[in-house]
Amino acid sequence: MKKQDEELIAQHPWLLDVSGPLLAWYDRQARILPWREQNTPYRVWVSEIMLQQTRVEAALPYFERFMQALPTIKDLADADPQLLLKLWEGLGYYNRVRNLQAAARAVVEKWDGNLPDQYDQLVSLPGIGDYTAGAIASIAYNRPIPAVDGNVLRVLSRLLASRADVTQPSVKKEMRSLAQAMIPSERAGDFNQALMELGAMVCLPNGAPRCDQCPVYHLCRGSQQGIAHELPVKPPKKQRRSIDLTVFILICEGNVLLRQRPKKGLLAGLWEFPHVEGWITAEEASRWVNQWGGKVLDNHALPKAQHIFSHLEWHMTAYKMLCTSFPAPKGYIWADRSQLSGQIALPSAFRAYSKHLPEWL
């Protein structure tokens, strides 16, 4: 333990009593998850990347499919980028999988395909920050390194009855030092997972802790002071910007028109249904097709939908249009059934409209 960690834990010595009851609870209550049953470094790494911004229940089928398609780091490094996007289709935050492949290529080049066990080496890889490096090092290699995510920040804030703003770097650093001092060296990975599990299953966010189910309730200063539901403290979220869009589902001879987004920015490089900003009429939508050289044979409106990004909301209306044949404009393609099922990944932002494609697509 570093001297600064020792000094910090000396101010809260009772935190050292957390690991015993917490690990006993974890041994009884931990969820059975595929990356826990086989906690190889690669499986732990992929699971941690998938679980960023994604619920466990949603990630499970993606994890199983990913492991079947790409069972080794070498397979990931060599995979076709379009296959990667297809495997990730619907999970969102696609830069996660791009960084995953970039890191896999670095691991193959520098460490012969073996994920390193040292924090400094892990954190040097694309897409791996403090938390993910700590999770891999501790869970896969039992290194006594903390893994402090939002769940852990919430648990520690409530244990300490701390009203410090957990979004501040200095507060995160202090919480990480406390977590470091609390880790039992013989069960580092289990301890980190237990803290995360407690935050995910019992010490819930948005003012709803299940204190009656908590194995360390007797040590929790937040509960004792009756303020656990008020913690952690965060600044108000910035209001998301809203954009109105009109989406075109253009179908010709059993194919659907798609365009590729720019290589940088939101949903970078993914394929999408053509759309324009603002809500337009069916007649105006038909005129767009006329400009491309086609003629609309049938046009009907689809239900409105919305998709929420972290900083942005899309409010969409759409038209499904059958049209005569015309060459795909530059940057567009006419996608057939095989491309949509096996190669092209459509962002989940358009999931509400994907279901309106013909059955043969």
314-349: b or e for each residue (b if 16 or more CB lie within 10 Å)? Answer: bebbbbbbebeebebeeebbbbbeebbeeebbbbeb
Q: Which residues pair with 243 in a beta bridge?
A: 314
Type and span of the H or E element at 330: none
Contact 70, 99 (CB under 8 A): no
Catalytic member of 7, 37, 48, 284? 48
Type and span of the H or E element at 318: strand 312-323
Residue 230, amino acid: E
Dihedral angle sign, alpha carbons of residues 116, 117, 123, 127: positive
Residue 79, amino acid: A
Token pair listed for 272: 């999408």
Contact 237, 308 (CB under 8 A): no
Question: 3-state class of 93 per DSSP?
Answer: coil
Q: Is 48 a catalytic residue?
A: yes
Secondary-structure breakdown of the chain: helix, strand, coil percentages, each rounded to the nearest 5? 50, 15, 35
Distance, CA of 202 to CA of 200 (rounded, Å): 6
Which are the catalytic amino acids? 48
